[in-house]
Amino acid sequence: MRELMLEEMTWVEIEAEVRGGKRSAILAVASVEQHGPALPLNTDVVLGRGLARALARELGDALVAPILYPGCSDHHLAWPGTVSISPGVLAELVGSVAGGLARAGFEEIVLFPSHGGNFAPQREALPAIRSRAGEAEVLDLLDFRAVLEAWFEVLERHGWEDRTPPHADIIETSMMMVLAPEAVRAAKMQRGFVGRPDLDELTERGLQAFTENGVLGDPRGATPEMGRELISAWVQYAAGEIRWRRSERPGGEWGPAGA
């Protein structure tokens, strides 16, 4: 499926798409980290790619940049396999790629983390990332709580009241059932820590202070139907934010440089 995926297109195709109005690049920042006994380490990569592509389709004027990983996952290192980089390296990676996308002709870069641990480091690095992007505008979707609200609303509609910050839970598992069903080890799904830990405390102390199996929340009950609704809720949230920020731009939808 090469539709909208920058790395799977030729430069000739990309040039034509950019000329045709696809001036925005969507940049998802993911992770390679444990996701409990039922989901693979690249879960946030799969989710990032799926969400980015769904957002690009919704916007109609964007392409999907290569998904960036690994991410900041020190709080998952207690389990085998997790690969983590420092916030400084992440900032450099995102800034460098954003600068490259700007030089390659994109006028707007939509930046979003598909992994909770990448929100704070990217927020801190945002001024540096913006300056690396030069003329291109960086639209950030770095409000983790707003994303969680959009997802929890879907769960509530399905009569699910748990509001544990999601990790390898019903939210991630449902979306994986849509985006990579073969990767879900359904027979291995286990309940993890259920509660409302402070998000900063989770990152500072590590997940092992809360959960033995690496899961936060409970994946049991996940369905592809819920997955599709969760993806759509995220896309509506993200597209709404982007359209609102574009409308605040002097000169309207696309800046004065736009045709």
The residue (of 26 and 47) whose beta carbon lies closer to Zn ion is 47
3-state SS string over 224-257?
HHHHHHHHHHHHHHHHHHHHHHHHHCCCCCCCCC
The residue (of 136 and 168) whose beta carbon lies closer to Zn ion is 168
Contact set with Zn ion (CB under 5 A)? 43-44
Residue type, 241: E
The residue (of 46 and 59) whose beta carbon lies closer to Zn ion is 46
The residue (of 6 and 171) whose beta carbon lies closer to Zn ion is 171
Minimum separation from the CB atom of position 97 to Zn ion (A): 21
Minimum separation from the CB atom of position 164 to Zn ion (A): 13
Minimum separation from the CB atom of position 44 to Zn ion (A): 4
Number of residue whose CB is nearest Zn ion: 44
Give CA–CA dist 126/111, Å, rounded: 10
Minimum separation from the CB atom of position 166 to Zn ion (A): 7
